[in-house]
Amino acid sequence: MHPIIRLVNRNLTISLNPGFLIWQIIFPLIYIFVAGFAYGPLIQSVPLGARDLDYPSFLASGMIGFNIMNSTLVSGIIIWNDRRHGMFEQIMSGPFTRSHYILSNVCTIGITGLVSASLIALVGYPVFFGSIEFSLITVPLIVFGAITGSVLFGSLASIISTRLRSSEGFNVVINTAFLFFAFVSTAFYPAESAPEPLRSAFYLNPLTYLVDVIRGGIFGTLTEFVFYEMIVLLVMAAGLFIVASKLLTRLDF
């Protein structure tokens, strides 16, 4: 078996356990079916391009991007635990190189991102069924968002895990960062209804671009601005991946 496949299998075995999969479904379900329908009567409609969406549909589609981001935490956790428990040294002592380790983490976050996106799309489908506008580029857009978003946030989690040594510091920084990404974005509410400077802060957040691209594919609201967001998302993912790769190549035991 190829070394990268062996490492990916090992990463998935320790990451995609029943508890993780249940949490990846239960947590979004609470938002979609509790928050979505609780706030639905208060938020009659949400503008999206040239059309209006009901709030449960808006939130359910946003949770796809949110869950992609949330699932990529496994990348940073794997690296952190490998360093903390001496596993990284053992892997490097075997028939593996740092390149194998880096590429296996990329494959892992890509797979977890796609699995996460698929799970939430299936769970949320009954909610936004009436608003969907499928086209030939709907699925490619969702796959593009899942892969680029996974690489982007997975690389960010990897960077944090390589720069911090204490468990307290790691948990505080990564949870604070991802909490900011979650709520200062268009995952839960549209940027147009937010006051300044919060509205501007939305577009400093890569999750906003990820969610907007996925919504554009699901609801057929592709605009020139969404295509610009795709380019920004791709550039940010590539940049963070390069930084994370360089840090991992220099990672000590």
pLDDT, tens digit, 9 for 90 and up, residues 223-242: 888 899 999 999 999 999 99
pLDDT band at 1 (very low <50, low <70, confident <90, very high): low
pLDDT of residue 213: 92
Q: Cα–Cα distance between 223 and 230 in angstroms, integer?
A: 11
For residues 216 and 223, the answer to whether their CB atoms sit within 8 Å is yes
Q: What DSSP string describes 100-149?
A: HHHHHHHHHHHHHHHHHHHHHHHHHHHHHGGG----TTHHHHHHHHHHHH
pLDDT, tens digit, 9 for 90 and up, residues 98-149: 888 888 888 888 888 777 778 777 877 777 766 777 777 778 888 898 889 8
Q: Cα–Cα distance between 188 and 185 in angstroms, integer?
A: 7
pLDDT > 90? residue 48: no
Q: Cα–Cα distance between 95 and 24 in angstroms, integer?
A: 33
Q: Degrees (nearest 5) of the Cα angle 199, 234, 65?
A: 55
Bridge partners, 51 (sequence order): 48
Whole-prediction pTM? 0.86
> Peptide bond preceding 197: is omega within 30 degrees of 0, i.e. cis?
yes
Q: Cα–Cα distance between 91 and 216 in angstroms, integer?
A: 42
DSSP 8-state secondary structure symbol assigned to residue 191: G
Short-list 15, 208, 170, 8, CA closest to 102: 8
pLDDT of residue 211: 92
